[in-house]
Amino acid sequence: MKDHAVVISGGGPTGLMLAGELALAGIEVAIVERRMDQEIVDSRAGGLSARTLEVLDQRGIVDRFLAEGQIAQVAGFAVTRLDISDFPTRHNYGLALRQKHIERILAGWIDELPVPVYRGRELAGFAQDETGVIIELSDGASFRAGYLVGCDGGRSLVRKIAGIEFPGWDATTSNILAEAEMEEEPPLGVHRTALGMHAFGREEYEIRDGKVVFASEGPINVMVTEKIAGGTGEPTLGDLRQALIDACGTDYGIHSLKWISRFTDMSRQAAAYRKGRVLLAGDAAHVHSPVGGQGLNTGVQDAVNLGWKLAQVVKGISPESLLDTYHAERHPVAARVLRTTMAQVALQRTDDRTEALRDILLELLGMEEPRKKIAAEMSGLAIHYEFGKGHPLLGRRMPDLELVTSDGRLRVYTLLKNAQPALLNLGAPGSLDVTPWSGRIRSVDASYDGPWELPAIGAVSAPTAVLIRPDGYVAWVGDGTQDGLHEAMKTWFGPPG
């Protein structure tokens, strides 16, 4: 087996997205995946947030997902749906789409790049030194990589072997997910009892006027809270029957399991996202309750933050210290996700005191400012990396404006399709000198006379220039001068040369 610049352990959404980012940058990357194919039997994550849709739009592949999913206002907090249709983004909505479809579409994209995927094999061990990582697989094969990235889930072997601590909070509640046949038709939809939440649905559904309308026949998808939390192994049909009886008073004659799994509200986060030449992303770096639907989206955005940085280090453009910004930027984002999911789990309790708290929260979220603030956070549009003081755009996602250039109109996100940085000059053409970085940064002279708006923040002053990182975040904002531009280019895209 040949050596690779980067090896990714795990071919889920995070691993696939990272492989695509690295391949776009010309890095020799491979995935090690235990499954023989990309098929997922069970229904895991069920949607993409507005910011993730923007990220996919930046790479020119969002239409593949929109063609198969259902657009809807799916951002929410606990039991409250939050409308983002008035947000200044082309994707002011979420997309209902099962994880199995998300993975299949991403896998098709990386096949075009292409990226080798070693299927039916698992990482068995590794050892790193100053120049690389020796990787051992479950079939006895071994090879060397410059870097190893663990995208191998909450029980990450990469994280464990690397010795990275995984502190957090133990589970207080557990739920069983399954798909099965039922002799009696259960009440479709989401319900709350004294034990917690339970829901019934079908794989096939439509969203009509913001409401889910399930198919009239077919196997039933079940989610039910268990009476006693703490189960860690694979649940059984007997466990599911008992949970349904506890919650509903009947098991509806459930039989013929297609799949079954368990999830909890355990919340943990890796103490470090990097240890030498080993990095973590996605569930390997953070686990939490799926309430709010932020897990898959956070992992995909981990990948987009890490990909271009790792590519520059592999190529020798940037020093290894650039990789430290991955932890510095993404660790606080996931830490906040853990807090919001724990809060949502707490709000789903059914005692009178929690009901009172939930009523007050519903009143608050009915007000414009709280609604916009929380909705921007839950949709991923409020992410802000701390790059220092300055213009409100600094460290935030670049709006996808329609620009006028000498070659005609173009959208900002089309500049990022190949995961390269861009310098947008909105002042006098040719007034910005980027010659030492001209081979790395795409410079575009353009004009734009429309509004500049940010979700939950509102209108901001128009800049004269913007330096955009490959992940779509603003690294420098011009105010009529070049002050700070060369320093920003050096910080993010290496020394001149």
Q: What is the CATH number of the domain that holds 83?
A: 3.50.50.60
CATH of the domain at 432: 3.40.30.120
Q: Tell me: do 146 and 203 sit in the same domain.
A: no
Q: Tell me: do 223 and 285 sit in the same domain.
A: no
Q: Do 36 and 176 contact (CB within 8 A), yes or no?
A: no
How far, in Å, CA of 115 to CA of 107, rounded?
9
Which residue from 147, 52, 146 is spatially nearest to 106, judged by alpha carbons?
A: 52
Residue 344 domain-assigned? yes
Q: Tell me: do 215 and 278 sit in the same domain.
A: no
Can you list the residues of the chain whose pLDDT is less than 50? none
Model confidence over 375-427: pLDDT tens digits? 999 999 999 999 988 999 999 999 999 999 988 999 999 999 999 999 999 98
Which residue from 200, 245, 243 is spatially nearest to 221, judged by alpha carbons?
A: 200
Of 264, 287, 307, the position where a domain reaches its end is: 264
Residue 341 domain-assigned? yes
Q: Tell me: do 73 and 126 sit in the same domain.
A: yes
Residue 391 domain-assigned? no
Model confidence over 117-143: pLDDT tens digits? 999 999 999 999 999 999 999 999 999
Instruction: List the domain range (segments joined by +) for residue 121.
Output: 4-168+268-378
Residue 397 domain-assigned? no
Residue 242 domain-assigned? yes
Q: Tell me: do 289 and 247 sit in the same domain.
A: no
pLDDT given at position 206: 73
Of 232, 264, 296, the position where a domain reaches its end is: 264
How far, in Å, CA of 330 to CA of 289, rounded?
18
Give the sign of the dihedral formed by CA 17, CA 474, CA 83, CA 79: positive
Of 363, 378, 393, the position where a domain reaches its end is: 378
Vertex 316 angle, CA 384 and 443, to 5°: 55
Q: Tell me: do 286 and 363 sit in the same domain.
A: yes
Q: Tell me: do 362 and 247 sit in the same domain.
A: no
Q: Tell me: do 235 and 360 sit in the same domain.
A: no
The token pair that represents 169 in the structure block: 């909070």
Q: Tell me: do 206 and 146 sit in the same domain.
A: no
Residue 260 domain-assigned? yes
Domain count for the chain: 3
Secondary structure (3-state) at 119: strand
CATH of the domain at 182: 3.30.70.2450
Residue 352 domain-assigned? yes
pLDDT given at position 466: 97
Q: Tell me: do 152 and 12 sit in the same domain.
A: yes
Q: Tell me: do 55 and 157 sit in the same domain.
A: yes
pLDDT given at position 12: 95
pLDDT given at position 423: 96
**Read out DSSP for 217-270?**
SSPEEEEEE-SS----S---HHHHHHHHHHHHS--TTEEEEEEEEEEE--EEE-
Q: Tell me: do 278 and 367 sit in the same domain.
A: yes
Residue 484 domain-assigned? yes
Model confidence over 16-55: pLDDT tens digits? 999 999 999 999 999 999 988 877 655 566 799 999 999 9
